[in-house]
Amino acid sequence: MGTGDNVLIAGFVIKGTSPKQVLIRAIGPSMAKANVPNLLYDPSLTLYKGQTALASNDNWRDQQATAIQASGKAPLDPQESAILTTLDPGAYTAIVRGVQDATGNALVEVYDLSGSENRLINVSTRGRTETGDNVMIAGFVVAHNPKRVLIRALGPALNAANVSDTLADPTVTLYRGQTPLASNDNWQDTQKATLQALRKAPSNARESSIVTTLQPGAYTAIVRGVNGAVGNSLIEVYDLD
């Protein structure tokens, strides 16, 4: 992640009729244990609903330390950020920035901490997609029962939102562990009728999508640029059930 339009932006949607408790984390230094290079060593995190800032945090121990530790999901490094909050159904955005405009690889996470009937139905992240260890990587977990999901990798569509330097031709590959399960370059090449029926087809023919049913477990979707191209992209995961 960088500065300006190149910060890390995560969107998520809560569906239902009652509030949901969530934990949002911005991780940087602790990824050194996974041998991730060029880390963002001091991330800050701000939660928005629309244009309204709801909460902000730089170092997680400065606020809510006891409650975050009790969740069992406290960040490993004191310079990392976290917000524990209860949110009404709706759409939210979490933005990760580097303190004093620092740049580097970072991770933004949203955890559902409540067992209510409300659920997260969409999680998306916009950031800079480069090459090697600096591609866009989205992880998500399916709990309890098999679930039908839609995964999209967008680039050119971001131009309509005045995002600069977009990734012109993204590809997306879905993994479970190290095993690739599905891959797509241009969404119209596979599952075109299914995507159109869902009314969630990407607006640009060069963007990518995968519709699949997944067993409970942890999954990873990776966005890369065709022929090593770089630029800003958006990775989305929709719960279709």
Q: Which tens digits make up the pLDDT trace of 208-227?
A: 999 999 999 999 999 999 99
**106 and 181, same domain (yes or no):** no
Last residue of a domain, one of 117, 152, 183: 117
| Count of domains for the chain | 2
Read off the pLDDT band of 44 (50, 70, 90). very high
pTM (whole model) above 0.75: yes
151-168 residue pLDDT tens: 999 999 999 988 989 999
Residue 123 located in a structural domain:
no
Residue 122 located in a structural domain:
no
pLDDT at 121: 83
Residue 205 identity (one-letter amino acid): A
**170 and 193, same domain (yes or no):** yes
**Which has more confidence, 83 or 120?**
83
Residue 115, pLDDT above cutoff 70: no
Last residue of a domain, one of 77, 92, 117: 117
Rounded Cα–Cα distance for residues 126 and 148 (Å)? 22
Residue 175 located in a structural domain:
yes
Residue 26 located in a structural domain:
yes
Last residue of a domain, one of 117, 139, 154: 117
CB contact set of 86 (below 8 Å; sequence gap of 6+): 19, 20, 21, 22, 114
Range of the domain at 14: 1-117
Read off the pLDDT band of 144 (50, 70, 90). confident
Read off the pLDDT band of 114 (50, 70, 90). confident
Residue 38, pLDDT above cutoff 70: yes
Residue 109 located in a structural domain:
yes
For 165, which DSSP code? S
Residue 204, pLDDT above cutoff 80: yes
Read off the pLDDT band of 116 (50, 70, 90). low
**153 and 201, same domain (yes or no):** yes
CATH of residue 38: 2.60.120
Considering the chain, what is the average pLDDT of its residues?
93
**239 and 133, same domain (yes or no):** yes
